[in-house]
Structure 1
Amino acid sequence: MCKKLYQLLLLAAILSVLAACGGQATPQVLEKVVTQVVEVQKEVTKVVEKQVTTVVEKEKEVVVTATPAPAGGGETIRIGGLGPLSAPGTVVGGIAMQFAMNLAVQDINEAGGVLGKPLELIFADTEGLPERGAAVARRLIQENGVVALAGEYHSAVGLAIAEVARAKHVPVLFSETWSDKITETGYPEVFRIAPASTMVSRATAEWLAAVGAKNVVIIAENTDYGIGAVEADRKFYEEAGLTVQDAIFTELGTQDYQPILTRIQAMTPPPDVISVQVTGESSYNLERQITDLGLAPNENTIGIANQVAIQPEFWESVPTGEYWVFSLVGLPPALYNDTTRHVAEEYQAAFNSEPASYVLESYDTMWILADAIKRAGTTDPDALIKAIEETDMTLAQGHYYFKYTSANPVPGDGSVPKYMWHQWPDPAVVLLQYYERGQDWKDAAVIWPPVYQTHGTSHIPYGEKP
């Protein structure tokens, strides 16, 4: 009885303590609240981790790689290289351009460098995106201290880079941006040794007129390059007596072209020509689908591929791509000089293929800039721009000079196209045609202009051999 009474009294005491300290239940509630907060904190942590990851990726995109530090270390003169090393850009082009620039820097440094210092290349990945191109150009100038910019493959990216070069007053020498708009700006900082789209369009129009084509369908990417190329094509095709039956624009990176190709299938009669003005890997995909559907090349329709058909990757994507025609900017191997052969041998050893025009252009840009710095005796931008304008040297692509400069402006009467400002006037543009499956581009027939023809014909009909 006493024992039970004691237990009851003890229980009552405990309850009274709990009642008096009603807040004591709070720790249990707080534990639940804290548990919930911790769970939320974990979720926030995950979000932050994703954000940090994105920042890290951006850092990698901004400056992808630099050339190894020159032997002996010390101060260097830095040039910023630009090109697409990641999709959706033309990766094969960016890799080739970076290789050529590194080769040129190596050769320049072996020859003694510039102004007693080694030249250093810092190459940035533009991804083929205008906003990325602008961002990496700013970073190269502001953080890496480059004295000039060079390269780039895509015209839309080049236009964005040109605005940065103008704003920062740093010269840029473009290797492979064809849009007329690149040099039409008239910016003192902007130079180009690749051809303007109009130069290529004129050559193609002259060839099509010579082979008797009448109606052309153009499939172009919806970018500054594609839009500009179509405008130039229309102008010169019409002057040559051809009709642009349709111009179809598509987004870069499109995978399925069936909807637009169905439109072409329904045309009666079929077009005499289907011309692809889509760049990079996207062009391979489009050309394969055109070939698989039997739209071109065939007995009735000529197929004109993008210039990257020169690469071995064309055959990987378009295994039945014989008879496609494509342009080559630059000289055929038979007209290589010693510098061209040097670059070609090094490129062949690294990639087991001949260099495309943008490889040779990229190599030459480094030498043009190094030569200008040497003649200027300084990296001051005004002095450097003036020295680039006065370029007079022979490299892998030929003899370089700029006819229209601050000392000889483009006439305002329209007699000279505006794109000739700081434009190399003499890039060679030839048309080649495959006629066997898996054919090396060096064995393809040079069909235009007649002075460079290798097989005595301006066109090899589908199914025939020259």
Structure 2
Amino acid sequence: MNTPPSSPSPSPSPSGAEHPDRTPVRVGALVPLTRPGWTESGRHLLAGLELAVHEVNDGGGIGGRPLELVVRDTAADPGRAAAAVDELAGLGVAAVVGEYHSVVARAAAARADALGVPFLCSSAVLDALTEETTEWVARVAPAQSHGWRIYGDFLLGAGRHRIAVATQPSVYWATGTRLLRDHLAPHGGTVVELDAGALTPEALCDALVDHGATALLLLVGMPEPAVPLVRAVRADRRLPEILIGAPAGQPETAEWMAALGPDGAGIPFLRYLPEQLGPLGERVRARLRERIGEAPSFVAFEGWDTVTVLAEALRSHGTDRAAIAASWPYLAVEGTRGPIRFSRPSALTVWQWAWAPVQVADRDPAAPDRFRILHTG
């Protein structure tokens, strides 16, 4: 682990005096823009990052220097993300931001820690983002254990105690399954795992009937196999009352609705937004909508918040990598979803905003373009 110099309070080091030529402050951005990555989420994340960079530069940049985003497509590939961090470090970026997929962000965080490059993670939630405690990594998305326990509370409140999870091999899905099982068990809840790779959609429906499941959670990729699984369950007359859920957020995307139509509504998912946005959030939402051409997902807000937080670190503590990494616990930034400060909640190895607001929401079956908030935490 590469440890930055410790300091009780990093001292500011304005960059303008050191760079009279106003050379850009370069920041690396990791985003899934091609398959098998969730490209729509990647597009929204990038829109948020880019809008915030534009606004920072409109406000005078970093000590008079423009902020420049150097984007690399991770395509949901951990090896590709690690290589991108190596490349970006060689290009002299002050820090790296972004990433949506947890297993990809974990690989990026490991390389950033090893190389001594600050990494502000935007959207990935896996608790164990690094194996050991690091000063180099911070995160604005809530940890998986926080959000998925809130989802578990929603299931219990809805009277769903016999839970089946359709899952694929992944540390993210496996961790989610364990979190749900541990949270539900003290309340009489059970979780059975169904291998989405080994079972056809029809065979999976048979298993749901055999187990008497009252909810099916889709811990799988999108569009395959999530879309055919939803279609099969919706069409099965034996399962009219089963709740389909997707904690990871697939139903928020326009791609989901384009593939499933009305069948894609009424499927609860996690998203990280307050019940009502404040004036800043509303302003950013309007600008994001102009940029994206559709309603922004929570991932776009995460992107905007990420760059805004990093810009404050750069302005107040300078562009030196070690100074940025040492600044995390001293930052206080107004984000689109509330005031952002970093701490170290129990058992986490990175600096964490504890916590972004959490909702369980779904698309209203009566009007699928409208979202309903079902539970908050």
Kindly report which structure 2 residues correspond to 1:52-131, keeping only aligned pairs within 5 A, or say none. 74-131=22-79
Please list the CA deviations of residues 206-248 of structure 1 after superposition, one character each: whole Å capped at 9, or x if unmatched: 111112212101122322211211121111121332101x213
How many residue pairs get aligned? The number is 354
Name the structure with the higher strand share: 2
The root-mean-square deviation of aligned C-alpha atoms, in Å, is 2.2
Cα pair distance change 1:343/1:264, threshold 3 Å: same
Does the aligned pair in 2 maintain the 1:183–1:423 contact within 8 Å?
A: no
Secondary structure of the residue that 1:318 maps to in structure 2?
helix
For 2:153, the equivalent position in structure 1 comes to 206
Q: Does residue 265 of structure 2 align to residue 322 of structure 1?
A: yes
Please list the CA deviations of residues 325-375 of structure 1 after superposition, one character each: whole Å capped at 9, or x if unmatched: 22221123xx11222112211222233432212110111111111100111
Which protein shows a greater Rg?
A: 1
Q: Greater relative contact order: 1 or 2 (C-alpha under 8 angstroms, separation 6 or more)?
A: 2
Kindly report which structure 2 residues correspond to 1:5-404, keeping only aligned pairs within 5 A, or say none. 74-142=22-90, 144-182=91-129, 185-244=132-191, 246-250=192-196, 259=200, 261-266=202-207, 267-282=209-224, 284-294=226-236, 299-305=240-246, 306-319=248-261, 320-332=263-275, 335-376=276-317, 378-404=318-344
Mapped partners of 1:227, 1:348: distance in 2:
34
Cα pair distance change 1:179/1:282, threshold 3 Å: farther
Kindly report which structure 2 residues correspond to 1:383-462, keeping only aligned pairs within 5 A, or say none. 383-404=323-344, 416=346, 418-419=347-348, 421-436=350-365, 439-440=368-369, 443-449=370-376
Secondary structure of the residue that 1:419 maps to in structure 2?
coil
Please list the CA deviations of residues 130-187 of structure 1 after superposition, one character each: whole Å capped at 9, or x if unmatched: 1111111111111x21110111011111111011101110110111111111156311
Please list the CA deviations of residues 422-452 of structure 1 after superposition, one character each: whole Å capped at 9, or x if unmatched: 1111211111233326611xx3321113x8x
Decide which moves more: 427-436 or 130-139. Answer: 427-436
| Identical columns (%) | 23
Mapped partners of 1:347, 1:337: distance in 2:
15
Residue 259 of structure 1 and its aligned partner are, at CA, apart by: 2.2
The two structures have a TM-score, normalised by structure 2, of 0.87
Does the aligned pair in 1 maintain the 2:31–2:73 contact within 8 Å?
A: yes
Mapped partners of 2:217, 2:194: distance in 1:
10
Cα pair distance change 1:288/1:260, threshold 3 Å: closer
- Equivalent AA in structure 2 for residue 177 of structure 1: A
Mapped partners of 1:261, 1:195: distance in 2:
35
Decide which moves more: 118-127 or 179-188. Answer: 179-188
Cα pair distance change 1:312/1:295, threshold 3 Å: farther
Mapped partners of 1:111, 1:295: distance in 2:
58
Secondary structure of the residue that 1:79 maps to in structure 2?
strand
Does the aligned pair in 2 maintain the 1:295–1:301 contact within 8 Å?
A: no
- Equivalent AA in structure 2 for residue 339 of structure 1: L
Residue 97 of structure 1 and its aligned partner are, at CA, apart by: 1.1
Cα pair distance change 1:315/1:134, threshold 3 Å: same
**Structure 2 gaps, min length 5:** 1-20
Decide which moves more: 125-134 or 95-104. Answer: 95-104
- Equivalent AA in structure 2 for residue 399 of structure 1: P
Cα pair distance change 1:281/1:399, threshold 3 Å: farther
Mapped partners of 2:211, 2:180: distance in 1:
21
Does the aligned pair in 2 maintain the 1:325–1:433 contact within 8 Å?
A: yes
- Equivalent AA in structure 2 for residue 247 of structure 1: E
**Structure 1 gaps, min length 5:** 1-72, 252-256, 405-409, 411-415, 452-466
Name the structure with the higher helix share: 1
Residue 295 of structure 1 and its aligned partner are, at CA, apart by: 7.8
- Equivalent AA in structure 2 for residue 79 of structure 1: V
Secondary structure of the residue that 2:156 maps to in structure 1?
helix
Does the aligned pair in 2 maintain the 1:364–1:395 contact within 8 Å?
A: yes
The two structures have a TM-score, normalised by structure 1, of 0.71
Residue 86 of structure 1 and its aligned partner are, at CA, apart by: 0.7
Does the aligned pair in 2 maintain the 1:265–1:295 contact within 8 Å?
A: no
Mapped partners of 1:184, 1:249: distance in 2:
27
